[in-house]
């Protein structure tokens, strides 16, 4: 009986793992963003535990607003996570920051609930605050270079 129970648990675990949606974690940066996000590091629980952020502007960055959105062909982008990260970066400087975004299990469940076997969770910069009080925010014209062109309606 004990062997049967162990075998049943193993079969159920494999079935549950096969049912889980695959989430691909990736980064896209708008072409005019004052901050470039790169070198993502994941953990067991998070798709984006930490990233390297570089200030590519001529002003000191105070904070960067990050966004994670689900992207899949035939589906509108859906924001699933995000946050504001204080960076304090001088022009041209870069540093690694813990951002703690993209809870893997929650995103897999969300992807399954919208009936996607696999989906991209894309981290991007959506805004920035500078120490002089000015700001930058992503616009439609700031789309990543590899985004598809808009179709005429």
Residue 118 lies in a domain: yes
Range name among 25-29, 130-134, 143-147 with the lowest pLDDT average: 143-147
Q: pLDDT value at position 151?
A: 45
32-90 confidence digits (pLDDT tens) = 999 999 999 999 999 999 999 999 999 999 999 999 999 888 778 889 999 999 999 99
Q: How many domains does one find in the chain?
A: 1
Residue 73 lies in a domain: yes
Answer with the residue of higher pLDDT: 150 or 87. 87
CB contact set of 117 (below 8 Å; sequence gap of 6+): 21, 22
DSSP codes of every residue in 89-147:
E-TT-EEEEEEEEEEHHHHHHHHHHTT-SEEEEEEEEEEEEETTS-EEE--GGG--TTS
Residue 16 lies in a domain: no
Answer with the residue of higher pLDDT: 20 or 62. 62
Residue 36 lies in a domain: yes
Q: pLDDT value at position 72?
A: 81
Q: pLDDT value at position 145?
A: 47
CATH of residue 107's domain is 2.60.40
Residue 14 lies in a domain: no
Q: pLDDT value at position 140?
A: 72
Predicted confidence band at 150 (pLDDT cuts at 50, 70, 90)? very low
Q: pLDDT value at position 11?
A: 45
Residue 45 lies in a domain: yes
Q: Is the pLDDT of residue 119 over 60?
A: yes
Q: pLDDT value at position 115?
A: 81
Which range marks the domain in which residue 128 is found?
A: 21-140
Q: Is the pLDDT of residue 146 over 80?
A: no
Reading the block at residue 133, the tokens are 């009080």
């Amino acid at each position: 009986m004990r062997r049967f129970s162990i075998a049943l648990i193993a079969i159920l675990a494999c079935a549950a793992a096969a049912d889980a949606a695959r989430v691909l974690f990736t980064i896209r940066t708008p072409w005019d963003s004052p901050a470039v996000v790169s070198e993502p590091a994941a953990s067991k629980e998070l798709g984006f535990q930490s990233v390297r952020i570089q200030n590519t502007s001529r002003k000191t960055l105070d904070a960067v607003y990050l966004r994670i959105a689900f992207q899949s062909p035939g589906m509108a982008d859906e924001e699933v996570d995000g946050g504001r990260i204080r960076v304090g970066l001088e022009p041209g400087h870069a540093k690694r920051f813990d951002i703690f975004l993209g809870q893997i299990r929650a995103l897999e469940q969300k992807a399954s609930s919208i009936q996607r076997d696999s989906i991209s969770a894309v981290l991007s910069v959506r805004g920035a605050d500078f120490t002089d009080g000015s700001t930058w925010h992503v616009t439609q014209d700031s789309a990543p270079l590899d985004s598809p062109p808009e179709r005429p309606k």
